[in-house]
Amino acid sequence: MSFKVQVGPPRIAIHQAMTVLVCDPDGQIAGDDQHGLFFRDTRIIGAWNASIDGVPWDLLSGGAIGYDLARVFLTNPAVSDIKRGTLAFVLARAIDGGMHEDLDIANHGGKPVAFTLRIRIQTDFADLFDVKARRTPNRGTVTTTWAPNTLTAAYRNQDFRRGLTIAIEGAAATYADGALTFAIALHPGESWHACLRYDLTDGDETLTAPLGFAEPRDSAPDWRDSVLKIETPNAAFQQFCAQASDDLAALRLPMTVDGKAVTMPAAGLPWFVAPFGRDSLIVSLQAMSLYSDFALGSLAVLGEWQADGYDDRRDAEPGKIMHELRYGEMAHFKLVPHTPYYGTADATPLFLIALHEAWKATGDTGLLERHLAHAERALAWIDTDGDRDGDGFQEYQARAPGGYENMAWKDSGDSINHPDGTPVRGPKALCELQGYVYDAWIRMAEIFDVLHQSEKAAALRAKAAALFDKFNATFWDEAEGFYALTLDGDKKPVFSVASNPGHLLWSGIVPRDRARRVVRGLMAPDMFSGWGVRTLSSRHVCYNPYSYQNGSVWPHDNSLIALGMRRYGFAAEAATIARAVTDAASYFESFQIPELYAGLTRDRLSFPVRYAGANVPQAWAAGSAFALLQAMLGIAPDAPNNRLYVDPALPDWLPEVTLRDLRCGGNRYDIRFRQGAPPEVLAGDPATVVTGIRPGAEPR
Is residue 1's pLDDT more than 50?
A: no
| pLDDT score recorded for residue 648 | 98
Convert the pLDDT of each residue in 410-439 to its tens digit.
Answer: 999 999 999 999 999 999 999 999 999 999
DSSP one-letter string for 373-394: HHHHHHHHHHHTTSSTTSSSS-
Mean pLDDT score, 363-387 = 97
Domain ranges of the chain: 14-207
Handedness of CA 588, 589, 590, 595 (dihedral sign): negative
b/e for 408-437, b at 16 or more Cβ within 10 A? bbbbeebbbbbeeeeebeebbbbbbbbbbb
Tell me how far apart the alpha carbons of residues 11 and 29 are, in angstroms, rounded to a whole number: 10
- Is there a contact between 172 and 182 (Cβ–Cβ < 8 Å)? yes
User: Residue 117 is inside which H or E element, if any?
Assistant: strand 113-127
Cα-based distances in Å from 313 to 272, 321, 334, 478: 21, 15, 10, 41
Residues composing the chain: 700
Q: Is 495 exposed, middle or buried (0-12, 13-18, 19+ CB in 10 A)?
A: middle
Handedness of CA 314, 319, 320, 325 (dihedral sign): positive
| pLDDT score recorded for residue 613 | 81
Mean confidence (pLDDT) of the chain: 95
| pLDDT score recorded for residue 2 | 47
Q: How confident is the model at residue 605 (pLDDT cuts 50, 70, 90)?
A: confident
**Superfamily of structural domain 14-207:** Glycoside hydrolase, family 65, N-terminal domain (2.70.98.40)
Of the candidates 378, 410, 408, the residue with the CA atom closest to the CA atom of residue 302: 378
Convert the pLDDT of each residue in 474-531 to its tens digit.
Answer: 999 999 999 999 999 999 999 999 999 999 999 999 999 999 999 999 999 999 999 9
The single-letter DSSP state of residue 697 is -
* Percentage above 90 pLDDT, the chain: 88
DSSP one-letter string for 517-569: HHHHHHTSTTTB-SSSBBSB-TTSTT--TTSSSSS-B-HHHHHHHHHHHHHTT
- Is there a contact between 100 and 93 (Cβ–Cβ < 8 Å)? yes
Convert the pLDDT of each residue in 151-160 to its tens digit.
Answer: 999 999 999 9
Mean pLDDT score, 271-289 = 96
How many alpha carbons fall within 13 Å on the CB side of residue 602? 20
Cα-based distances in Å from 641 to 466, 665, 688: 29, 10, 9
The single-letter DSSP state of residue 219 is -
If DSSP codes are grouped into helix, strand and coil, which group holds residue 294?
A: helix
The reported pTM is 0.95
